Amino acid sequence: MENNSRRNYGSNSRYNRRRPSYRSSSYSNSRRGGGYNRRGSTINVNQLIAKAVYEDLPSIYVLDHNLLEFNLTKELKKNITYKKYTSPTKIQYEAIPHILNGRDILGMASTGSGKTAAFLIPMINKGVHDRSQRFLIVVPTRELAMQIQEEFMQLARNTGLRSVLVIGGNSIGAQIGILRRDPDFVIATPGRLKDLTERKAINLSKINNVVLDEVDRMLDMGFIDDIRFITSQLSDNKQSLFFSATMNRKSEEIANTLLKNPVRIEVEKQSPGKNVDQDVVRLKEGENKFNVLCEYLSKDEFKKVLLFTRTKREAENLSRKLFDKGVKVNALHGDKRQAQRTRIIDAFKKDNLNILVATDVASRGLDVNNITHVINYDIPENYDDYIHRIGRTGRAGKKGIALTFV
């Protein structure tokens, strides 16, 4: 990377602040400035009220082009057509030609921009043409890894390419067994991948192609040492794709280590919550919080709702109470086994659930289309977590609504 891409990030960068612990659930309601204080991290109620910006909403698609214009194999074009992909998103339009030409990519793009297909389409195409190629995709969360695996299976149908999902919560023995059969694609989270590398179940020096996706979130979740270890094991002779919504010094350090003369692609970023109407639900004295919630959920416009609580116990209790009211609901939290989490997310995606109650930790990596409302049943720990929560709605150019109980 060019030296002028390095930037000085000061102490105000959220990446330089210590992340709060999720274990404690005690809040103090601070009246100073009308805020809610959590170990020094304050959210002012006024920050939770904003109108969506309706004018000049940019499309994420390049409408005068088609994905089938790219020089792709017949099988891949059939699969793209089957998935009803037509116009490329901006990141796909910019990145796919360069990846097909073997260039390294530094992509600045956030979730919802279409970047999964932006790297899978050209990588699958490369794997079909050259069966000696091996591909590694590293992402921050199990849920995102599973979503990429699902997308891979659809785009790689009838190509003969095989993949393995290397994530915590699933049988490590089964993963080792698949790795011994030398799959073409390894889709992994950093911790489990490092573990399997140290067990010599996978030889990273044989990887020809590597994708690091959502690097900023991996670093934010404490995976810096794992990422450094993984990149140190890779061969110099590889094509590397690096995607991050934001960059800081640690991201730059990894990018500089990994990439050779990369093409830098930056997709126009929307302000956090730009597509989201944000408001608060002020409980009057004597009002029952759960009853007020049920009044909202009974309205027709609340079609697909993500409800946030601060604790696992609250998520489970709230889910049960809503279920007793006849609501199609389930809870997503850290005490759920991986198989349960997968089933629950799949049911929410397929609209078999109308309501998903989740904690912050469980929701990281959750990528579900057409969520109409995010409701903060409990105030989040800090403003960063608030932005993460409301970012689950109002995606891909659509508008959403976020409500916070105060």
pLDDT at 206: 97
Burial of 105-143, coded b for 16+ CB within 10 Å and e otherwise, reads bbbbbbbbbbbbbbbbbbbbbbbbeeeebbbbbbbbbbb
Predicted local confidence at residue 104, as pLDDT: 98
| pLDDT tens per residue, range 53-64 | 544 456 788 999
**pLDDT greater than 90 at residue 247:** no
Assess contact for 215 and 256: CB atoms under 8 A. Answer: no
pLDDT at 379 over 50: yes
Residues 375 and 383: their CA atoms lie apart, in Å, by: 15
Residue 101 has a pLDDT of 97
Q: Are 329 and 356 in contact (CB under 8 A)?
A: yes
**Cβ-contact 145, 187 below 8 angstroms:** yes
Residues 16 and 9 sit within 8 Å (Cβ to Cβ): yes
Q: Answer yes or no: is pLDDT of 4 > 50.
A: no
pLDDT of amino acid 220: 80
Give the pLDDT confidence score for residue 311 in this predicted structure. Answer: 94
Give the Cα separation of 251 and 219 in Å (integer). 8
Q: Which two tokens stand for residue 68?
A: 């089938």
Q: Is the pLDDT of residue 371 over 60?
A: yes
How many percent of the chain have pLDDT more than 70? 83
The whole-angstrom separation of Cα 222 and Cα 231 is 16
Q: What angle do CA 268, 274, 277 make, to 5 degrees?
A: 160
The predicted structure's pLDDT at residue 304: 95
- Sign, CA dihedral 230-232-234-236, equals positive
pLDDT grade for 34, boundaries at 50, 70 and 90: very low
Distance CA 194, CA 217 (A): 17
pLDDT of residue 38: 40
pLDDT of 389 strictly over 90: no
Query: What values do phi and psi take at 16, rounded to 5?
Result: -95, -5
Average pLDDT over residues 142-154: 93
| Structure-block tokens of residue 120 | 């899978």
Predicted TM-score of the model (pTM): 0.72
- Nearest Cα neighbor of 137 from 155, 114, 119, 153 is 119
Using CA atoms, how far residue 320 sits from 131, 140, 163, 230, 324, in Å, is 50, 30, 37, 42, 6
Q: pLDDT (tens digit, 9 = 90+) per residue, 202-219?
A: 999 999 999 999 998 898
Contact 402, 278 (CB under 8 A): yes
Closest CA to 96 of 131, 69, 132: 69
In terms of pLDDT, which residue wins out, 390 or 328? 328
Say if CB 361 and CB 335 are below 8 A apart: no
The amino acid present at 375, given as its one-letter code, is: I
Burial of 236 by CB count in 10 Å (0-12 exposed, 13-18 middle, 19+ buried)? Answer: exposed
Q: What pLDDT is recorded for position 125? A: 98
Give pLDDT, residue 367. 76
16, pLDDT greater than 50:
no
More confident residue, 364 or 124: 124
Per-residue pLDDT tens over the stretch 345-358: 989 999 999 999 99
Position 10 pLDDT exceeds 90: no
Q: What is the pLDDT of residue 397?
A: 65
β-strand pairing of 239-244 with 209-212: parallel
pLDDT of residue 32: 35
Are 60 and 87 in contact by the 8 Å Cβ rule? The answer is no
Which residues of the chain are in CATH 3.40.50.300 domains?
Answer: 25-56+271-405, 67-266
* Strands of 251-339, DSSP E: 263-266, 276-281, 305-308, 329-332
Which two tokens mark 38?
């959590």
- d(Cα 36, Cα 114) in Å, to the nearest integer? 35
Q: What is the pLDDT of residues 265-310, one digit of tens each?
A: 998 665 556 778 999 999 988 899 999 999 999 999 999 999 999 9
Among 76-85, 134-143, 186-195, 336-345, the range scoring the smallest mean pLDDT is: 336-345
- Give burial (CB, 10 Å; 0-12/13-18/19+) of 220: buried
The CATH fold assigned to 67-266 is Rossmann fold (3.40.50)
Fold of 25-56+271-405: Rossmann fold (3.40.50)
Give mean pLDDT, residues 66-81: 97
